[in-house]
Amino acid sequence: MDNNNGSKVAAVVVTYNRKELLSECLNAILKQSFSVWKLIIIDNASTDGTEDMLKKTGVLENPVVYYKKMEINTGGSGGFYTGIEIARETDCDWIWIMDDDTIPFSDCLEKLIEKIRINPNASFFASCVKGENNEPMNVAKIDARPTENGYADWYMDLDKGLVKIQKATFVSLLFNKKAVEKVGLPCKEYFIWGDDFEYTQRLTTCFAPAYLVGDSWVCHKRKNARSISLKKETDFARIRNYHYFYRNSIINVYLYQSRKSYIKSVLKYWQEGVKLAFTRPFGFRKLITCHKGVFEAIKNKKKFRGLILSQLKR
């Protein structure tokens, strides 16, 4: 299906050292039943021959493809910041984003686009996500915030295949360009983890509701299909990155919840760090990583609030 209904979609894919998965992801995007108008690839300074692969397979010769290789690895948040910024400057109407290990079903985008007719002013539409063994993954958070009469209304469009959500991960989200122009770009300083929850909650708080689309599906081929858990982490090289998870999680509570909730989150993760010291393997390293994230959140919470507010002022 050509994009002949007036909706020009710019797809954004962020990649880092996963050229085989990237190739599968790009093929799936380019074979969608609803054609993308642009395909923007942000390469976070890969060292595994990603650029050579793109040249050899002819991807870079495709006129809809725009490829940018970063000078350094800016993390997922930096990659999406750059990709969405580039897409925003084009003549697109909607921006479809995902990681390189996301494989959209052939009608994934078409099903997202169909929902625009129902609510053209939504901030974004999200696909449902499953792992390679059909297990649930990257589950969006239902928007249970009360409406004027005190009740949540997340179920009001179930008959249309839509569930109102508050926030979601960057695994096949279709952003309204008008929403992006209003709220700005993701906070690139998050580096990894939590930037997606912050940005999508910023959209649903400052622009308009968002929806999970019940018949739009992707397969997320993440190496570890379990939810993020430092306690269960066995890869020493990955442990040090978890301080971003704790820092960004606390900052998100600080930004969008009450002061009481912020204090509770600080205490919660501080206690979790103490407990991590008694886990195996690498218990002491996990303790240090967790508490590093807590300290960074306390120290930098106002700085991050300023960075995000500066986006809203655009």
The CATH number covering residue 82 comes to 3.90.550.10
Q: Are residues 147 and 253 located together in one domain of the fold?
A: no
Q: Are residues 209 and 278 located together in one domain of the fold?
A: no
Q: Are residues 195 and 250 located together in one domain of the fold?
A: no
Residue 177 CA to residue 115 CA, distance in Å, equals: 15
Q: Are residues 256 and 129 located together in one domain of the fold?
A: no
pLDDT on residue 123: 98
Number of domains in the chain: 2
Q: Are residues 182 and 306 located together in one domain of the fold?
A: no
Report if residue 230 sits inside a domain: no
- Among candidate residues 7, 257, 22, the one with its CA nearest the CA of residue 109: 7
Q: Are residues 257 and 186 located together in one domain of the fold?
A: no
In terms of DSSP bridges, do strands 141-142 and 38-43 run parallel, antiparallel, or are they unpaired?
Answer: unpaired
Q: Are residues 150 and 35 located together in one domain of the fold?
A: yes
* pTM (predicted TM-score): 0.95
- Among candidate residues 249, 261, 258, the one with its CA nearest the CA of residue 194: 249
pLDDT on residue 222: 87
pLDDT one-digit tens code per residue, 154-205: 999 999 999 999 999 999 999 999 999 999 999 999 999 999 999 999 999 9
- Among candidate residues 222, 256, 181, the one with its CA nearest the CA of residue 98: 222
Between 312 and 52, residue with greater pLDDT: 52
Residue 76 CA to residue 24 CA, distance in Å, equals: 19
pLDDT on residue 153: 97
pLDDT on residue 4: 46
pLDDT on residue 223: 76
pLDDT one-digit tens code per residue, 294-313: 999 999 999 999 999 999 86
Q: Are residues 271 and 165 located together in one domain of the fold?
A: no
pLDDT at 272 > cutoff 80: yes
Final residue before a domain boundary, out of 163, 191, 220: 220
pLDDT one-digit tens code per residue, 89-141: 999 999 999 999 999 999 999 999 999 999 999 999 999 999 999 999 999 99
Q: Are residues 74 and 159 located together in one domain of the fold?
A: yes
Q: Are residues 200 and 241 located together in one domain of the fold?
A: no
- In single-letter form, the type of residue at position 197 comes to F
Cα Rg, the chain, nearest whole Å: 19
Q: Are residues 181 and 257 located together in one domain of the fold?
A: no
pLDDT on residue 171: 97
Tell me the residue range of the domain where 68 lies. Answer: 9-220
Q: Are residues 162 and 240 located together in one domain of the fold?
A: no
* Contact (CB, 8 A) for 28 and 103: yes
Exposed/middle/buried for residue 274 (C-beta within 10 Å: 0-12, 13-18, 19+)? exposed
